[in-house]
Amino acid sequence: MTVERYIRVIAGLFIMFSLALGVEASPLFVSPWFLAFTAFVGFNLFQFGFTNFCPLALILKALGVPESKIACSAAK
């Protein structure tokens, strides 16, 4: 998997997890403040679309996850 695919998978997992903990109808409900984490992840995805900067991408690249060849060739 590439950096961008990991970002999508991890962001989706974080959103689903925080919704499960923040929505009162969920059997895993803890606090509605977990919805703030959902908004934080959504905001990061939004700004990543415009700026192409993502803190998670920096971490994944440092761990040796390869970048997408399509994204790399398009940037040249």
| Confidence check: pLDDT of 74 > 80 | no
**pLDDT tens-digit profile of 2-61?**
999 999 999 999 999 999 999 999 999 999 999 999 999 999 999 999 998 999 999 999
Domain assignment of residue 26, given as a range: 3-75
Contact residues for 19 (Cβ-Cβ < 8 A; gap 6+):
26, 34, 35, 38
Q: How many domains does the chain have?
A: 1
Q: How far apart are CA 65 and CA 75, in angstroms?
A: 18
Q: How far apart are CA 10 and CA 7, in angstroms?
A: 5
